[in-house]
């Protein structure tokens, strides 16, 4: 009878399936802000992916759809700056440094087109460990803006770049001084660029009227976090997408401002680093203070290419692996307890 009971208990434990394990940052103020913002964007017909990384540790503190791939648009210009700054060992010529800075501040397509080559994204993805960032199917020697990026990779890139002495001084300064209007006249005062206080940003967008499926991205930082907000929609309009990005950026800033100060504790907005976000040892340098923006360069008559979203999955593989491992460990504990409670009496009788 006892042996039958034991077998039944083991069968129940196996058939029960994995025990859901919450993400390390579930239930925090910042994660709640991300969840509500993503839901609000969805109600407006916008697919929005968000990733939030602690500026001091590199730990991911919140996110939604961070592994989804999007067409990069002008976000790729960040990799172009990193590529040329690293290639010059952190000492680009004055002329090159001016071009790179202007390209970020005004999102200048003409400069990007003159500097573009297909090695930029693969080499920078390797340099910064970005596993889901690559050239896209339509990327070519004369075609940029089609590259594939994710919110998680962008937030991780910002943290790791900020710790890269060959790249950070130039790129952080440019991002801290992004203009409200791009070189093509586009309003880039949205998302992370619409914040006040300590912040920096880079925006990316599909040219108006070029395609039905449009992208509207913003990545950057607050005083506490590096943040990536990627968006795509075939049903929304530019103003609504701009507002959705800004709403998310402000919600994250407000949640961080309201969070209790002090060291990380269970349920705080500062979880320990996880397998998918190992913290480098060095803290990122502070963003350079705002400086006078360079005058806009001439607008490129050739706009960035039309885009489509190529999302693939919603959960990070590391999260799924962690959940499965936790479930197996729980089943093991249940089985061990059952054996300890039943085999002892059986051996004595």
Residue 176's domain comprises: 28-321
What are the residues whose beta carbons fall under 8 Å from the beta carbon of 170, sequence distance 6 or more? Answer: 81, 85, 92, 97, 100, 101
Assess if residue 55 is contained within a domain: yes
Assess if residue 44 is contained within a domain: yes
Assess if residue 54 is contained within a domain: yes
Report residue 94 as tokens: 């004055």
- pLDDT grade for 332, boundaries at 50, 70 and 90: low
Which CATH number fits the domain that encloses residue 45?
Answer: 3.40.710.10
Assess if residue 254 is contained within a domain: yes
Q: Checking phi first, is residue 129 left (phi over 0); if not, alpha (psi -120 to 50) or beta?
A: left
Please tell me the total count of domains within the chain. 1
Bigger pLDDT: 119 vs 335: 119
77 vs 112: CA distance, rounded Å: 7
Largest CA distance in the chain: 92
Is residue 4 scored above 60 in pLDDT? no
Bigger pLDDT: 285 vs 252: 252
Crossing angle of helices 29-43 and 238-258, in 10° steps, is: 170
pLDDT tens readout for residues 66-107: 999 999 999 999 999 999 999 999 999 999 999 999 999 999
- pLDDT grade for 23, boundaries at 50, 70 and 90: low
The answer to whether the beta carbons of residues 188 and 75 sit under 8 Å apart is no
Assess if residue 341 is contained within a domain: no
State the average pLDDT over residues 135-159.
Answer: 97
State the average pLDDT over residues 302-318.
Answer: 37
Write down the number of H helices and E strands in the chain.
10, 7
Is residue 61 scored above 90 in pLDDT? yes
Assess if residue 247 is contained within a domain: yes
Is residue 274 scored above 60 in pLDDT? no
Assess if residue 337 is contained within a domain: no
Report helix, strand or coil for 60.
Answer: strand
Which H helix or E strand runs over 51? strand 47-54
Query: With 0-12 CB in 10 A as exposed, 13-18 as middle and 19+ as buried, what is 93?
Result: exposed
State the average pLDDT over residues 275-301.
Answer: 38
Is residue 9 scored above 50 in pLDDT? no
Report residue 64 as tokens: 């939604």
pLDDT tens readout for residues 221-273: 999 999 999 999 999 999 999 999 999 999 999 999 887 444 444 344 444 44
Amino acid 97: pLDDT: 98
101 vs 171: CA distance, rounded Å: 7
pLDDT tens readout for residues 35-46: 999 999 999 999
Assess if residue 32 is contained within a domain: yes
Amino acid 15: pLDDT: 36
What are the residues whose beta carbons fall under 8 Å from the beta carbon of 175, sequence distance 6 or more? Answer: 78, 104, 200, 201, 202, 220, 221, 287
Report residue 278 as tokens: 């190992």
């Amino acid at each position: 009878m006892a042996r039958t009971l034991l077998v039944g208990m083991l069968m129940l434990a196996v058939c029960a399936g994995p025990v859901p394990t919450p993400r390390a940052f579930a239930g925090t103020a910042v994660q709640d802000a991300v969840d509500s913002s993503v839901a609000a964007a969805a109600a407006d017909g916008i697919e929005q992916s968000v990733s939030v990384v602690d500026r001091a540790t590199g730990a991911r503190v919140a996110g939604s759809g961070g592994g989804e791939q999007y067409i990069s648009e002008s976000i790729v210009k960040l990799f172009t700056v990193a590529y040329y700054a690293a290639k010059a060992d952190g000492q680009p010529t004055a002329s090159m440094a001016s071009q790179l800075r202007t390209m970020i501040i005004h999102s200048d397509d003409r400069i990007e087109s003159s500097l573009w080559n297909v090695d930029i994204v693969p080499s920078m993805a390797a340099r910064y460990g970005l596993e889901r960032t690559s050239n896209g199917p339509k990327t070519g020697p004369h075609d940029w803006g089609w590259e594939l990026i994710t919110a998680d990779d962008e937030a991780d890139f910002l943290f790791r770049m900020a710790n890269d002495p060959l790249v950070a001084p130039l790129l952080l300064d440019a991002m801290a001084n992004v203009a409200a209007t791009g070189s093509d006249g586009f309003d880039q005062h949205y998302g992370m660029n619409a914040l006040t206080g300590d912040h920096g940003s880079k925006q990316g967008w599909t040219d108006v009227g070029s395609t039905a499926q449009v992208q509207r991205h913003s990545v950057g930082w607050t005083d506490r976090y590096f943040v990536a907000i990627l968006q795509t929609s075939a049903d929304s309009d530019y103003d609504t997408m701009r507002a959705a990005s800004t709403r998310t950026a402000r919600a994250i800033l407000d949640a961080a401002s309201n969070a209790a100060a002090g060291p990380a504790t269970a349920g705080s907005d500062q979880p320990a680093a996880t397998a998918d976000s190992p913290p480098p040892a060095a803290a990122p340098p502070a963003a350079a203070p705002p400086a006078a923006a360079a005058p806009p360069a001439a607008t490129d008559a050739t706009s960035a290419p039309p885009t489509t979203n190529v999302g693939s999955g919603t959960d990070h593989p590391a999260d799924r692996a962690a959940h499965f491992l936790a479930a197996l460990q729980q089943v093991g504990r249940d089985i061990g307890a059952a054996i300890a409670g039943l085999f002892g009496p059986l051996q004595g009788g």
